[in-house]
Protein backbone atom coordinates (compact mmCIF):
# COMPACT_ATOMS: atom_id res chain seq x y z
CA UNK A 1 0.00 0.00 0.00
CA UNK A 2 2.61 2.39 0.92
CA UNK A 3 4.73 1.40 -2.00
CA UNK A 4 1.94 2.10 -4.50
CA UNK A 5 1.18 5.31 -2.82
CA UNK A 6 4.83 6.13 -3.01
CA UNK A 7 4.85 5.40 -6.67
CA UNK A 8 1.89 7.71 -7.27
CA UNK A 9 3.12 10.51 -5.00
CA UNK A 10 6.84 10.25 -5.43
CA UNK A 11 9.33 10.88 -8.19
CA UNK A 12 9.07 9.09 -11.49
CA UNK A 13 10.86 5.87 -11.84
CA UNK A 14 14.44 5.82 -13.01
CA UNK A 15 13.42 4.54 -16.50
CA UNK A 16 11.32 7.64 -17.36
CA UNK A 17 13.08 10.86 -18.60
CA UNK A 18 11.67 14.06 -17.19
CA UNK A 19 10.74 16.84 -19.74
CA UNK A 20 13.00 19.86 -19.80
CA UNK A 21 11.96 23.56 -19.76
CA UNK A 22 12.30 24.98 -23.30
CA UNK A 23 12.99 28.45 -21.98
CA UNK A 24 16.47 27.37 -21.08
CA UNK A 25 17.34 25.73 -24.42
CA UNK A 26 19.99 27.60 -26.62
CA UNK A 27 20.11 26.79 -30.32
CA UNK A 28 23.39 25.52 -31.53
CA UNK A 29 25.14 27.42 -34.41
CA UNK A 30 23.14 30.72 -34.06
CA UNK A 31 24.61 33.47 -36.50
CA UNK A 32 26.26 36.45 -34.95
CA UNK A 33 24.84 40.03 -35.31
CA UNK A 34 27.73 41.09 -37.59
CA UNK A 35 27.06 38.31 -40.04
CA UNK A 36 23.37 39.18 -40.20
CA UNK A 37 24.13 42.86 -41.00
CA UNK A 38 26.66 41.91 -43.69
CA UNK A 39 24.23 39.50 -45.34
CA UNK A 40 21.46 42.13 -45.39
CA UNK A 41 23.71 44.93 -46.77
CA UNK A 42 25.51 42.96 -49.44
CA UNK A 43 23.06 43.66 -52.36
CA UNK A 44 23.22 47.43 -51.73
CA UNK A 45 27.00 47.29 -51.41
CA UNK A 46 27.31 45.34 -54.62
CA UNK A 47 25.06 47.85 -56.42
CA UNK A 48 27.13 50.75 -55.09
CA UNK A 49 30.37 49.16 -56.29
CA UNK A 50 28.83 48.64 -59.73
CA UNK A 51 27.75 52.32 -59.92
CA UNK A 52 31.25 53.48 -58.94
CA UNK A 53 32.79 51.28 -61.63
CA UNK A 54 30.39 52.56 -64.29
CA UNK A 55 31.00 56.19 -63.32
CA UNK A 56 34.71 55.61 -63.38
CA UNK A 57 34.47 54.16 -66.88
CA UNK A 58 32.40 57.11 -68.07
CA UNK A 59 34.84 59.63 -66.59
CA UNK A 60 37.74 57.77 -68.18
CA UNK A 61 35.98 57.76 -71.56
CA UNK A 62 35.19 61.48 -71.36
CA UNK A 63 38.75 62.29 -70.33
CA UNK A 64 40.06 60.27 -73.24
CA UNK A 65 37.77 62.07 -75.72
CA UNK A 66 38.68 65.51 -74.37
CA UNK A 67 42.40 64.83 -74.59
CA UNK A 68 42.48 62.74 -77.75
CA UNK A 69 44.37 64.44 -80.60
CA UNK A 70 41.93 62.77 -82.96
CA UNK A 71 39.24 65.36 -82.01
CA UNK A 72 41.44 68.45 -82.27
CA UNK A 73 40.05 70.77 -84.98
CA UNK A 74 42.41 70.69 -87.93
CA UNK A 75 40.18 71.50 -90.92
CA UNK A 76 37.84 74.43 -91.64
CA UNK A 77 35.73 74.08 -94.78
CA UNK A 78 33.99 77.25 -96.07
CA UNK A 79 31.03 77.10 -98.45
CA UNK A 80 28.61 79.61 -99.99
CA UNK A 81 30.94 82.62 -99.93
CA UNK A 82 31.59 84.85 -102.95
CA UNK A 83 32.23 88.39 -101.74
CA UNK A 84 33.73 87.31 -98.42
CA UNK A 85 36.93 85.45 -99.18
CA UNK A 86 37.75 82.08 -97.67
CA UNK A 87 40.88 83.64 -96.21
CA UNK A 88 38.80 86.24 -94.35
CA UNK A 89 36.59 83.55 -92.86
CA UNK A 90 39.56 81.42 -91.84
CA UNK A 91 41.24 84.45 -90.26
CA UNK A 92 38.20 85.04 -88.03
CA UNK A 93 38.17 81.34 -87.08
CA UNK A 94 41.93 80.94 -86.70
CA UNK A 95 41.73 80.31 -82.94
CA UNK A 96 39.42 77.35 -83.57
CA UNK A 97 42.30 75.25 -84.84
CA UNK A 98 43.53 72.91 -82.16
CA UNK A 99 40.41 73.22 -80.00
CA UNK A 100 38.45 70.09 -79.16
CA UNK A 101 35.71 69.64 -81.75
CA UNK A 102 33.13 68.60 -79.17
CA UNK A 103 33.83 71.46 -76.75
CA UNK A 104 34.48 74.41 -79.08
CA UNK A 105 32.01 77.32 -78.67
CA UNK A 106 30.87 77.58 -82.28
CA UNK A 107 28.18 80.16 -81.47
CA UNK A 108 30.82 82.65 -80.34
CA UNK A 109 32.70 82.27 -83.62
CA UNK A 110 29.46 82.52 -85.61
CA UNK A 111 28.77 85.89 -83.94
CA UNK A 112 32.15 87.16 -85.09
CA UNK A 113 31.47 86.15 -88.68
CA UNK A 114 28.10 87.92 -88.94
CA UNK A 115 29.84 91.18 -88.03
CA UNK A 116 30.95 91.31 -91.66
CA UNK A 117 28.52 93.57 -93.59
CA UNK A 118 28.43 91.13 -96.52
CA UNK A 119 27.33 88.22 -94.31
CA UNK A 120 23.57 87.86 -93.86
CA UNK A 121 23.79 84.61 -91.89
CA UNK A 122 26.25 81.81 -91.20
CA UNK A 123 26.10 78.33 -89.72
CA UNK A 124 28.92 76.22 -88.28
CA UNK A 125 28.65 72.44 -88.17
CA UNK A 126 30.85 69.85 -86.46
CA UNK A 127 32.01 67.03 -88.73
CA UNK A 128 33.77 64.19 -86.91
CA UNK A 129 36.52 63.70 -86.21
CA UNK A 130 38.23 67.10 -86.67
CA UNK A 131 36.41 69.36 -89.17
CA UNK A 132 34.24 72.46 -88.86
CA UNK A 133 32.04 73.20 -91.88
CA UNK A 134 31.11 76.86 -92.35
CA UNK A 135 28.16 77.76 -94.59
CA UNK A 136 27.88 81.47 -95.44
CA UNK A 137 24.81 83.24 -96.81
CA UNK A 138 25.79 86.61 -98.24
CA UNK A 139 23.67 89.74 -98.65
CA UNK A 140 22.37 90.51 -102.13
CA UNK A 141 22.64 94.20 -103.07
CA UNK A 142 19.26 95.70 -103.97
CA UNK A 143 20.20 99.25 -104.87
CA UNK A 144 22.70 102.05 -104.50
CA UNK A 145 21.58 104.42 -101.75
CA UNK A 146 22.53 108.07 -101.88
CA UNK A 147 23.14 109.36 -98.36
CA UNK A 148 24.41 112.91 -98.42
CA UNK A 149 27.21 112.98 -100.97
CA UNK A 150 28.09 109.29 -100.63
CA UNK A 151 26.78 106.22 -102.40
CA UNK A 152 26.33 102.87 -100.63
CA UNK A 153 25.33 99.36 -101.59
CA UNK A 154 22.26 98.30 -99.59
CA UNK A 155 20.30 95.07 -99.28
CA UNK A 156 16.46 94.74 -99.38
CA UNK A 157 16.19 95.36 -95.63
CA UNK A 158 18.11 98.62 -95.86
CA UNK A 159 21.35 97.29 -94.38
CA UNK A 160 24.38 99.19 -95.67
CA UNK A 161 26.76 96.63 -97.15
CA UNK A 162 29.64 98.78 -98.29
CA UNK A 163 30.47 102.13 -99.85
CA UNK A 164 29.86 101.96 -103.57
CA UNK A 165 32.94 102.32 -105.74
CA UNK A 166 34.67 101.05 -108.89
CA UNK A 167 35.13 97.61 -107.33
CA UNK A 168 31.37 97.12 -107.63
CA UNK A 169 30.98 98.35 -111.19
CA UNK A 170 29.41 95.03 -112.24
CA UNK A 171 26.26 95.86 -110.26
CA UNK A 172 23.73 97.54 -112.57
CA UNK A 173 21.48 98.88 -109.81
CA UNK A 174 19.27 101.96 -109.57
CA UNK A 175 20.34 104.85 -107.37
CA UNK A 176 17.74 105.46 -104.66
CA UNK A 177 17.26 108.84 -103.00
CA UNK A 178 15.08 109.64 -100.01
CA UNK A 179 16.18 106.68 -97.88
CA UNK A 180 17.83 108.68 -95.11
CA UNK A 181 16.12 108.91 -91.74
CA UNK A 182 14.06 112.04 -91.44
CA UNK A 183 14.97 114.95 -89.18
CA UNK A 184 17.97 117.26 -89.04
CA UNK A 185 19.31 115.60 -85.91
CA UNK A 186 18.93 112.01 -87.14
CA UNK A 187 22.18 110.10 -87.37
CA UNK A 188 23.16 108.98 -90.84
CA UNK A 189 21.23 105.82 -91.53
CA UNK A 190 18.41 104.32 -93.57
CA UNK A 191 14.76 104.56 -92.61
CA UNK A 192 13.35 100.98 -92.58
CA UNK A 193 9.94 102.07 -93.91
CA UNK A 194 11.49 103.90 -96.84
CA UNK A 195 13.76 100.92 -97.52
CA UNK A 196 10.67 98.71 -97.60
CA UNK A 197 9.04 101.04 -100.17
CA UNK A 198 12.16 100.89 -102.35
CA UNK A 199 12.25 97.09 -102.05
CA UNK A 200 8.60 96.88 -103.14
CA UNK A 201 9.26 98.95 -106.25
CA UNK A 202 12.45 97.10 -107.17
CA UNK A 203 10.81 93.69 -106.62
CA UNK A 204 8.10 94.69 -109.09
CA UNK A 205 10.73 95.88 -111.58
CA UNK A 206 12.81 92.73 -111.25
CA UNK A 207 9.87 90.71 -112.56
CA UNK A 208 10.15 92.69 -115.84
CA UNK A 209 13.85 92.82 -116.77
CA UNK A 210 13.32 94.93 -119.89
CA UNK A 211 11.75 97.86 -118.01
CA UNK A 212 13.98 97.26 -114.99
CA UNK A 213 17.06 97.81 -117.17
CA UNK A 214 15.76 101.25 -118.17
CA UNK A 215 15.27 102.60 -114.63
CA UNK A 216 18.17 104.79 -113.59
CA UNK A 217 17.01 106.41 -110.33
CA UNK A 218 14.21 106.24 -107.76
CA UNK A 219 13.13 108.61 -105.02
CA UNK A 220 11.10 107.21 -102.09
CA UNK A 221 10.91 110.35 -99.96
CA UNK A 222 7.11 110.17 -100.28
CA UNK A 223 5.91 106.58 -99.93
CA UNK A 224 2.64 107.55 -101.68
CA UNK A 225 4.38 109.02 -104.72
CA UNK A 226 7.51 107.20 -105.82
CA UNK A 227 9.54 109.13 -108.40
CA UNK A 228 11.56 107.50 -111.18
CA UNK A 229 14.05 108.53 -113.84
CA UNK A 230 14.72 106.43 -116.91
CA UNK A 231 18.05 106.23 -118.70
CA UNK A 232 18.33 108.83 -121.47
CA UNK A 233 15.05 110.39 -120.35
CA UNK A 234 15.14 113.66 -118.37
CA UNK A 235 11.43 113.67 -117.37
CA UNK A 236 10.74 112.95 -113.72
CA UNK A 237 8.02 110.28 -113.55
CA UNK A 238 5.42 110.25 -110.74
CA UNK A 239 4.42 106.61 -110.16
CA UNK A 240 2.25 106.87 -107.05
CA UNK A 241 2.29 103.90 -104.67
CA UNK A 242 1.10 101.07 -106.89
CA UNK A 243 1.17 99.72 -110.49
CA UNK A 244 4.78 100.84 -110.88
CA UNK A 245 5.60 98.63 -113.87
CA UNK A 246 2.30 99.27 -115.66
CA UNK A 247 2.74 103.04 -115.41
CA UNK A 248 6.32 102.93 -116.57
CA UNK A 249 5.35 100.81 -119.58
CA UNK A 250 2.61 103.28 -120.47
CA UNK A 251 5.08 106.15 -120.44
CA UNK A 252 7.65 104.24 -122.49
CA UNK A 253 4.99 103.49 -125.10
CA UNK A 254 3.78 107.09 -125.19
CA UNK A 255 7.18 108.81 -124.93
CA UNK A 256 7.79 109.17 -128.71
CA UNK A 257 4.40 110.81 -129.21
CA UNK A 258 4.84 113.06 -126.15
CA UNK A 259 8.24 114.28 -127.29
CA UNK A 260 6.87 114.90 -130.75
CA UNK A 261 4.08 117.02 -129.26
CA UNK A 262 5.94 118.86 -126.48
CA UNK A 263 9.64 118.35 -126.96
CA UNK A 264 11.61 117.88 -123.75
CA UNK A 265 9.54 117.19 -120.62
CA UNK A 266 10.19 118.28 -117.04
CA UNK A 267 7.89 115.64 -115.58
CA UNK A 268 5.03 113.26 -116.30
CA UNK A 269 2.43 112.34 -113.67
CA UNK A 270 1.13 108.83 -114.35
CA UNK A 271 -1.30 108.52 -111.43
CA UNK A 272 -4.48 109.58 -113.27
CA UNK A 273 -6.10 106.42 -114.63
CA UNK A 274 -6.82 106.94 -118.35
CA UNK A 275 -4.74 110.13 -118.71
CA UNK A 276 -1.45 111.62 -117.62
CA UNK A 277 -0.22 115.11 -116.89
CA UNK A 278 2.98 116.30 -118.51
CA UNK A 279 4.84 119.54 -118.14
CA UNK A 280 6.94 120.55 -121.12
CA UNK A 281 10.32 122.03 -120.38
CA UNK A 282 10.04 125.75 -119.54
CA UNK A 283 6.23 125.60 -119.91
CA UNK A 284 4.19 127.55 -117.32
CA UNK A 285 1.82 124.67 -116.50
CA UNK A 286 1.16 120.97 -116.96
CA UNK A 287 -0.91 119.58 -119.79
CA UNK A 288 -3.22 116.54 -119.54
CA UNK A 289 -2.98 113.92 -122.25
CA UNK A 290 -5.15 110.86 -122.82
CA UNK A 291 -3.29 107.58 -122.49
- Domain-embedded: residue 48: no
My answer on whether 150 and 202 are in the same domain is: yes
My answer on whether 282 and 160 are in the same domain is: yes
- Domain-embedded: residue 278: yes
Task: Give residue 80's region: left, alpha or beta (phi > 0; psi -120 to 50).
Answer: left
Determine the pLDDT at residue 5: 47
Quick check: 34 pLDDT over 60?
Answer: no
- Domain-embedded: residue 225: yes
My answer on whether 270 and 207 are in the same domain is: yes
My answer on whether 227 and 285 are in the same domain is: yes
Q: Residue 259 in contact with residue 265, Cβ under 8 Å? A: yes
Determine the pLDDT at residue 50: 74
Looking at residue 184, which CATH number applies to its domain?
Answer: 3.40.50.11690
Determine the pLDDT at residue 185: 47
Quick check: 8 pLDDT over 50?
Answer: no
Quick check: 23 pLDDT over 80?
Answer: no
pLDDT band at 29 (very low <50, low <70, confident <90, very high): low
**Lowest-pLDDT range, 39-43, 157-161, 223-227, 242-246?**
39-43
Q: What is the mean pLDDT of the chain?
A: 85
My answer on whether 148 and 212 are in the same domain is: yes
Quick check: 156 pLDDT over 50?
Answer: yes
Distance of alpha carbon 158 from alpha carbon 172, whole angstroms: 18
pLDDT band at 189 (very low <50, low <70, confident <90, very high): confident
pLDDT band at 253 (very low <50, low <70, confident <90, very high): very high
Q: Residue 174 in contact with residue 143, Cβ under 8 Å? A: yes
Determine the pLDDT at residue 26: 55
The count of structural domains within the chain is 2
- Domain-embedded: residue 158: yes
Determine the pLDDT at residue 6: 46
Determine the pLDDT at residue 181: 84
Distance of alpha carbon 22 from alpha carbon 5, whole angstroms: 30
Quick check: 19 pLDDT over 60?
Answer: no
My answer on whether 164 and 273 are in the same domain is: yes
My answer on whether 193 and 248 are in the same domain is: yes
- Domain-embedded: residue 15: no
DSSP secondary structure code for residue 232 in this structure: T
My answer on whether 93 and 176 are in the same domain is: no
Residue 189 domain boundaries: 143-290
My answer on whether 194 and 268 are in the same domain is: yes
Q: What is the mean pLDDT of residues 267-288?
A: 92
Last residue of a domain, one of 104, 122, 138: 138
Determine the pLDDT at residue 63: 62
Nearest Cα neighbor of 217 from 204, 235, 200 is 235
pLDDT band at 274 (very low <50, low <70, confident <90, very high): confident
My answer on whether 189 and 73 are in the same domain is: no
My answer on whether 167 and 213 are in the same domain is: yes
Quick check: 12 pLDDT over 60?
Answer: no
Strands (E), the chain: 75-79, 119-127, 131-138, 143-147, 150-154, 160-163, 175-177, 215-219, 227-230, 233-238, 265-272, 275-280, 287-290
Percent of the chain surpassing pLDDT 90: 66
My answer on whether 163 and 268 are in the same domain is: yes
Q: What is the mean pLDDT of residues 107-112?
A: 94
Nearest Cα neighbor of 262 from 289, 227, 237, 230 is 289
Q: What is the mean pLDDT of residues 29-51?
A: 63
Determine the pLDDT at residue 51: 72
- Domain-embedded: residue 126: yes
- Domain-embedded: residue 173: yes
Q: List pLDDT tens digits, range 158-176.
A: 999 999 999 999 999 999 9
Looking at residue 82, which CATH number applies to its domain?
Answer: 3.10.20.310
Taking the C-alpha atoms of 201, 121, 192 and 239 in order, what is their torsion angle to the nearest 10 degrees?
Answer: 0
Cα-flanking dihedrals φ and ψ of residue 129, to 5°?
Answer: -95, -15
- Domain-embedded: residue 8: no
Positive or negative CA dihedral for 82, 201, 161, 167?
Answer: positive
Amino acid sequence: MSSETGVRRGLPSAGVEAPSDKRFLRPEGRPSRGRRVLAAGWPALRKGILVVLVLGAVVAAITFVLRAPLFAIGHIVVRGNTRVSTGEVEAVLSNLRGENLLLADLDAYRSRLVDSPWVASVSLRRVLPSTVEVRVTERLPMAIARLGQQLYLIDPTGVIIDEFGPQYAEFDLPIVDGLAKAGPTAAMGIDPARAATAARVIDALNAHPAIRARVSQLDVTDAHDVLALLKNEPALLHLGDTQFVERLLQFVQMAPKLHEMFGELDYADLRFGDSLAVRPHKAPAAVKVKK
